[in-house]
A and B are shown apart, each in its own frame.
Chain A
Amino acid sequence: MSIKTEYALEAHALVKNYEGGLIPAVKGASLRLKHERIYALMGPSGCGKSTLLNLIGTLDTAENGTVLYEGKKVETWRSLAYFRREYIGFVFQSHHLLPVLTLRENVETALLFRTTLNQEQPMQERVKEILEEMGLAHRMDALASNVSGGERQRTAIARALVSNPRLILADEPTGNVDSETSERIMRALRKRISQTGATALIATHDPNVSAYADTLLLMKDGKIEAIENANSVF
């Protein structure tokens, strides 16, 4: 995978309001994310972290501002759906799995439309590999509705990583799991990023998670207030 630009992602002056402008969520947030790094987005509840992730991940549209992915505006991609499946891996606070599908099938949903990737390595093989990596080899054929919260969240991480995304956006990925699972998830994330050269932006309150980050982005009142090297904090 060739890296063409200095930054994996650049966001400039992003603005998002809700309720017809009555509730400002993001007020001119700007950030730059380098390749092969983990960024922890921290800040108090309601400061706009999730909204910022949604804007960056094209799950929501900004009223103002621009987002560049490897130097290119998102509008230049074939479609937003194409961009999301080709470029981004999402991890949500709540696992957001499809309850009627097995863990294996849930992970496969992220690969179904990745024809080129599936030609490189068969989909089933790739899915099995990542589920093993997440310690879920024995639960692959269990329905998502029948497994524990930790197993669901690990499956959600597997789904986000299986397609080797260039950018991983995670919103409180360890918010609903115990510390052991949290460690496991972060270790897997770190390993994957070093293997694939991806970039991760993780919104979190958890210092254990931010300990895995290279850089901390501190958000307050809808803006990035400070950027700190993680080593200087922890």
Chain B
Amino acid sequence: MQEIFLSGFRYAVRNILRSWLRATLTVISVALAISLYAFLTAMTASYNQQMSSIIRKGDVDIIVQSKFSASPLSSSIRPGQVKKIEASPEIKSSMPVVIGKIRTQKENNIIYVFGLKNYKQIAQKLGLTLLDGKPYTVGKDEILMASKLMHILAYRIGSRFPVTNDLNMTIVGAYSSWISMLNSTLICSAENARRILRRTDKTNMMFLTLKNPTHTGRLMKEIQTNYPDLIAIKSGEFSSHIGIIKNLAYILNIVAWSALLSAVAILMNTFLVAVNERTQEIGILGAIGWPKSMILSIFTAESILLAGTGGIIGLLMASGILAYIRSVYVSLRFYLPDSLGISIWAMSMGMSLVVGVAGAMIPAMLAANKPIAKALKDVH
């Protein structure tokens, strides 16, 4: 058995080396696909994990928003509903959030506006870090601006910023956040946000902390029964309920899977060519009595070797890309994990092997089923 394995392996390796240029190009293609897959999967996983962990850290039990809103931006909770929910004896603290968008007067860029009742209380929950200046004071025309946005718009702390045609507010602080939307955002008090957005009755979301977290399910049910147009989400499940994040995750998954399918197609193409070129050799093996399963295994082994090598190189590439992006694009650090992690390595290597088997299956079956007499006559 060992001799059969070693001979098969030796034959597979030498066949790969025989067409080294084609093998190298195939490995590079698989490596690119696996690196993309690993990177995107790590990013999606990290994004969801960070969001869940921040919400957990923020001690939020329930998040309330409109039932059918695709994103917090389109969600709307009426003032009466906010008051009634806040009045529930189960609630320890409530944080209504106002969200909207405006356009800059000069460049016509879109800027998001976040209105928070209490900056300090919610900053941690939204992953906000005040980089410069101070928090806004409720009752004053003060705003915080994302440092990235401030840099792009060339404003400084202390500058007056025209939030509407007839209203200017003072920039009192600069912050950064791991949520991309917040990095092109103004943050101010909820009242100021309503003035800027000209929606005096608007509240987009509510972050609720309960006196007794074990009553979460009960209060969620109560909110949904009393307010059928609202949805109460457990904080841990929030990221999966945000349409935009959900859609982003879908897109990332589609891209990641497309990359894997491309790798399968590349491998399959490589091996269809190989089977065509080695028809006579396949005939020889058949003539001397090699079982079909062994011929199939040879091609599968070659494919797995290529895909496995591509997988390892791809993972190293993904690690390198991750380290590079983290070092160059500081604002993106919030999205990204520190490293790929064992689970991503294991999953990606598993995927490489699946890609290898899938890529070789059809060509290998074609090879194994070639009529021997016909295969022996084939000349390339």
Contacts and interface: CB of A to CB of B under 8 A. Distances in A.
Instruction: Please indicate which of the listed interface residues A81, A85, A118 has the most CB atoms of chain B within 10 Å of its own CB.
Output: A81
Contacts of A84: 286-289
Interface string B274-303: 000000110111111111101000000000
Contacts of A27: none
B356 to A, nearest CB: 20
Contacts of A151: none
A214 interface: no
Interface string A54-92: 100101100000000000000000010111111010101
Contact of B290 (A59, A81, A86, A105): A81
Contacts, number: 75
A113 B290 contact: yes
A59 B372 contact: yes
B15 interface: yes
B7 interface: yes
A113 B4 contact: yes
B10 A105 contact: yes
Given A90-B287, A92-B376, A96-B284, A81 B292 contact: yes
Contacts of A57: 287
B289 to A, nearest CB: 2
Nearest to B4: A112
A147 interface: no
A218 interface: no
Nearest to B284: A96
Contacts of A97: 284
The range of chain B's interface size is: 20 to 34
Interface residues of A, number: 30
B280 A96 contact: yes
A220 interface: no
Given A112-B3, A123-B3, A82 B289 contact: yes
Contacts of A99: 18
Interface string A109-128: 11011000010000100000
A159 B3 contact: no
Contacts of A85: 288-290
B290 A109 contact: yes
A227 interface: no
B370 to A, nearest CB: 11
B251 interface: no
B211 interface: no
30 contacts: A54-B373, A59-B376, A60-B371, A60-B372, A81-B286, A81-B289, A81-B291, A81-B292, A82-B289, A82-B291, A83-B289, A84-B286, A85-B288, A85-B290, A88-B289, A90-B288, A96-B283, A96-B376, A97-B284, A98-B284, A98-B285, A100-B11, A100-B15, A105-B11, A108-B7, A109-B290, A112-B290, A113-B290, A113-B291, A123-B3
Per CB-CB distance, the 8 closest pairs between chain A and chain B, nearest first, are A85-B289, A100-B14, A60-B373, A84-B289, A59-B373, A59-B372, A54-B373, A96-B284
Interface of B: 3-4, 7, 10-11, 14-15, 17-18, 280-281, 283-292, 294, 371-373, 376
